[in-house]
Chains A and B, each alone.
Chain A
Amino acid sequence: MSNPALPPSSDPHTPISNQPEETGTVTVAEPVFQAPSEGTGAPAGAADGTEQVEGHVRTESALEDMWTAPATSNLLDIGAASFGPPPPVAESIIGPDDRVQITNTSVYPWRAHASLLITAADGSLWIGTGWFIGPHTLATAGHVVYIKNSGVPGRDGWVRSINVMPGRNGGVLPFGTVTSTNFRTVAGWANSGDENYDYGAIIIPSDLGNTVGWFGFGVWPDAELQTVTANISGYPGDKPAGTQWYDNDPIASVNPRKVFYETDTMGGESGSAAYRIIDGGRYGVAIHAYGGVTTNSGTRINQPVYDNLVAWKA
């Protein structure tokens, strides 16, 4: 696929502020959302905001440690007072690794997640994750469909193709492979490489989503998001090839463009849904993209992201 120049990223009338946006909040008069579909077959069950997966035990949040006697082993050396703290370390496993393998990937909701084999413009291969949001559209990270600042000649720009494998379980592909060369992202990612705009979509040349189902997604206010669990299931590179792994943890914090959580992930899970469960329905609240310093994070589905996802699933 060619890499045509993208239009400038913003209207000159876009408001600016001297206040960091991260200090703002998103107020939503009425939550807006797109409904999920479970595709064909028997309905899936769910309770209390998390998936019921045998063997999954969530490690208590570090936030809850404040009510127990503090450990001193992690206190900074006194030298930090003069020379500053050592640089933090970003890692995708926050505390103990709580992920569990999903083996019944041919049933909803697991089959709505897809293992992605990405061929970049230079022919290099990568793995990631996407999730169905409609009959022929998967949401994913922007850096899955458009590579930015790679430093490698011939690599940056739209990827050449992506093989989409819904519900993959190792070597088993219950719904086969669909190859796409039709992608979407936004100027904030493609022009600027800004992680706040790191989201995109894959359009596939069939309506496989009618079979495997899809997740809803929506926009909710800060106060509500901070009370829900971030469920993530994806295809991490540290596990046997093409196997799907799930974890959940409460959302730790939000800002207008990002959602932060301790849900464990690893390289290969970029593009996964960070989703909540309401009355048995799965709804994406963010698109997972980064392993972080103290939390992992995804691009928040705010109103502009929502509007684009709605347009891309049409």
Chain B
Amino acid sequence: MVLAGVVLGPAGEPVPLARVFVASGPVPVPDIAALTDAEGRFAMSLPAAGTYEVAYAAEGYASASTTVEVAGERELQLELRLTRDRPAP
């Protein structure tokens, strides 16, 4: 099954070159990460049904993750939002 989606910034702007990867899943997963394209889009395969934690990160933004439940769908669509990094105190 394919997990596809887009990574957006706080104003809804696409975030290119964001890193998207599976941080945890129901089965062993390849330890590789996708980079989003110029429109912030990505698509990656998930090997089995179950609960996944999908993490995403990009320079200038706070890293984030979301939980995805996968049943038998052939493709899932996600919209992932990043917030701006807070400047160091």
List A residues at the B interface (Cβ < 8 Å): 87-93, 117, 123-128, 141, 143-144, 149-152, 195, 198, 236-241, 265-270, 288-293, 296-297
5 contacts between A and B (CB under 8 A): A126-B35, A128-B32, A152-B2, A237-B55, A267-B55
Are the CB atoms of A152 and B26 closer together than 8 Å? no
**Complex-state Cα separation, A269 to B29, whole angstroms:** 12
Chain B residues lying within 8 Å of A150, measured Cβ to Cβ, are 2, 44-45
Q: How many residues of B contact A (CB 8 A)?
A: 36
For A89, give its contact among B2, B25, B35, B57 (CB under 8 Å): B25
> Is B34's beta carbon under 8 Å from chain A?
yes
Are the CB atoms of B30 and A92 closer together than 8 Å? no
Main secondary structure of the interface of A (DSSP, over half): loop
Interface residues of B in 19-53 (CB under 8 A from A): 19-35, 37, 42-45, 47, 50-51, 53
Are the CB atoms of B24 and A291 closer together than 8 Å? yes
Chain A residues lying within 8 Å of B44, measured Cβ to Cβ, are 150
**Complex-state Cα separation, A240 to B19, whole angstroms:** 10
Are the CB atoms of B33 and A237 closer together than 8 Å? yes
Given the known interface contacts A124-B37, A151-B1, A152-B43, the answer about A266 and B50 at a Cβ–Cβ threshold of 8 Å is no
Are the CB atoms of B25 and A270 closer together than 8 Å? no
For B34, give its contact among A126, A195, A288 (CB under 8 Å): A126
Are the CB atoms of A289 and B30 closer together than 8 Å? yes
Are the CB atoms of B23 and A92 closer together than 8 Å? yes
Closest residue on chain B to residue A170 by CB atoms: B59
Are the CB atoms of B63 and A291 closer together than 8 Å? no
**Complex-state Cα separation, A279 to B31, whole angstroms:** 30
Chain B residues lying within 8 Å of A127, measured Cβ to Cβ, are 19, 32-33, 35
- Smallest Cβ distance from A33 to chain B, in angstroms? 25
For B2, give its contact among A151, A241, A292 (CB under 8 Å): A151
- Smallest Cβ distance from B44 to chain A, in angstroms? 8
- Number of interchain pairs (Cβ within 8 Å): 125
List B residues at the A interface (Cβ < 8 Å): 1-2, 17, 19-35, 37, 42-45, 47, 50-51, 53, 55, 57-59, 63, 74-75
- Smallest Cβ distance from B78 to chain A, in angstroms? 15
Given the known interface contacts A150-B45, A237-B21, the answer about A270 and B30 at a Cβ–Cβ threshold of 8 Å is yes
**Complex-state Cα separation, A198 to B31, whole angstroms:** 12
**Complex-state Cα separation, A128 to B17, whole angstroms:** 14
For B59, give its contact among A93, A128, A241 (CB under 8 Å): A241
Are the CB atoms of A266 and B21 closer together than 8 Å? yes
Are the CB atoms of B31 and A266 closer together than 8 Å? yes
Given the known interface contacts A124-B34, A151-B2, A238-B55, the answer about A89 and B19 at a Cβ–Cβ threshold of 8 Å is no
For B23, give its contact among A91, A239, A290, A297 (CB under 8 Å): A91
**Complex-state Cα separation, A90 to B22, whole angstroms:** 9
Interchain residue pairs A-B with the least CB separation, the first 5: A267-B21, A237-B33, A91-B24, A237-B19, A267-B33
For B28, give its contact among A93, A267, A269, A297 (CB under 8 Å): A297
Closest residue on chain A to residue B48 by CB atoms: A87
Chain A residues lying within 8 Å of B57, measured Cβ to Cβ, are 237-239
Are the CB atoms of B45 and A268 closer together than 8 Å? no
- For the A-B complex with A89-B26, A268-B32, A270-B32 known, give 9 more contacts whose Cβ atoms are closer than 8 Å: A87-B26, A88-B26, A90-B28, A125-B35, A143-B30, A237-B19, A237-B21, A291-B29, A291-B31
**Complex-state Cα separation, A157 to B58, whole angstroms:** 28
Given the known interface contacts A141-B30, A238-B57, A267-B31, the answer about A291 and B22 at a Cβ–Cβ threshold of 8 Å is yes
**Complex-state Cα separation, A152 to B22, whole angstroms:** 17
Are the CB atoms of B24 and A124 closer together than 8 Å? no
**Complex-state Cα separation, A293 to B47, whole angstroms:** 13
**Complex-state Cα separation, A174 to B27, whole angstroms:** 37
- Smallest Cβ distance from B2 to chain A, in angstroms? 4
